[in-house]
Amino acid sequence: MTAINESLAGDFILVGFSDHPQLEKILFAFVLISYLLTLVGNTAIILISYLDPMLHTPMYYFLTHLSFADLCLTTSIAPQLLWNLRGPYKTISSTGCAIQLYVSLALGSTECVLLAVMAFDRYAAVCRPLHYATVMHSRLCQSLVGMAWLSGVGNTLIQSTITLRLPRCGNHRIYHFICEVPAMVKLACVNIHANEVQLFMASLVLLLLPLTLILISYGCIAQAVMRIRSAQAWRKALGTCGSHLLVVTLFYGTITAVYIQPKSSYAHSQGKFITLLYTVVTPTLNPLIYTLRNKDVKGALKRLLGRDSSEGEM
């Protein structure tokens, strides 16, 4: 505990994008708009999935948790980022940095597992349609979601605590716009090879393992659809899995670039932009992807709006 208390003494300086002062004004507007869209879009998905009985299915149960995780992840990062982009002060309190570190890592890890769970759900829907209700029963769905959240919490309790215990010898300049494990580890004034190996191993478990399960699920889906050899089956499979596959590509394509190769990612400024993509941009796009490409959500929205309008007329 002494090591943690010493490490939390004093504020941190988030360098962020301060080396591009003109870009900060553009980024402020971009992040603000993205954050507002994230709040509206993900809140809308949560409310629609809860209010419309037609969406009380495993797929939208998982989607609700994904939207909630997106909402919390962006909220743990965007307000502080906007404050630093707008004003001359680029600081964050030691307590605020620790909270951001714990919360963002927990939510990011949870999303990794949630996306794998959603891929399994799509596999059951396409490859086992007659047994789907039996396979994806409510108790299993709750257990899978619970496993996702426990994985995220467990990972952050281990990784964040170890990171905060590292001695920094007065180093408080974080060359990033958030308190994130790869950036925080770089502040240590001791040999961090063991920490980097640990970070890499944790990334293998919580990034590559879920990604492997996702690829296996979609490989089985592709084989099942190809055996049917029907254009209608292809369209149905694309409609069922297309939105999720696009979200997986956006999320994993960016986060793996940061956590699988932290040295190369944080040695250059592009690492900050990659992090910006999966912490701010992807949570903004997810609701748009699921609503614009999903007939069920659009239909539910029309039913809810129609119900409200009819009640207003009465």
Q: pLDDT at residue 64 above 90?
A: yes
Q: Once rounded to an integer, what is the mean pLDDT over residues 36-61? A: 90
Cα separation, 33 vs 38, whole angstroms? 9
pLDDT of residue 265: 43
pTM of the model: 0.86
pLDDT of residue 269: 64
pLDDT confidence bin for 70, thresholds 50/70/90: very high
Q: Once rounded to an integer, what is the mean pLDDT over residues 183-204? A: 80
Output 297 or 96, whichever has higher pLDDT.
96
239-294 pLDDT per residue, tens: 667 778 888 888 888 888 777 765 544 445 677 888 888 899 999 988 888 776 66
Q: Once rounded to an integer, what is the mean pLDDT over residues 96-117? A: 94
pLDDT confidence bin for 118, thresholds 50/70/90: very high
Q: pLDDT at residue 212 above 60?
A: yes
pLDDT confidence bin for 79, thresholds 50/70/90: very high
Q: Rounded mean pLDDT of the chain?
A: 83
As a three-state string, the secondary structure of the chain is CHHHHHHCCCCEEECCCCCCHHHHHHHHHHHHHHHHHHHHHHHHHHHHHHHCHHHCCHHHHHHHHHHHHHHHHHHCCHHHHHHHHHCCCCEECHHHHHHHHHHHHHHHHHHHHHHHHHHHHHHHHHHCHHHHHHHCCHHHHHHHHHHHHHHHHHHHHHHHHHHHHCCCCCCCEECCCCCCHHHHHCCCCCCCHHHHHHHHHHHHHHHHHHHHHHHHHHHHHHHHHHHHCCHHHHHHHHHHHHHHHHHHHHHHHHHHHHHCCHHHHHCCCHHHHHHHHHHHHHHHHHHHHHHHCCHHHHHHHHHHHHHHHHHHHC
Contact by Cβ (8 Å): 221, 128: no
Which amino acid would we find at residue 80?
Q
Q: pLDDT at residue 30 above 50?
A: yes
Q: pLDDT at residue 75 above 80?
A: yes
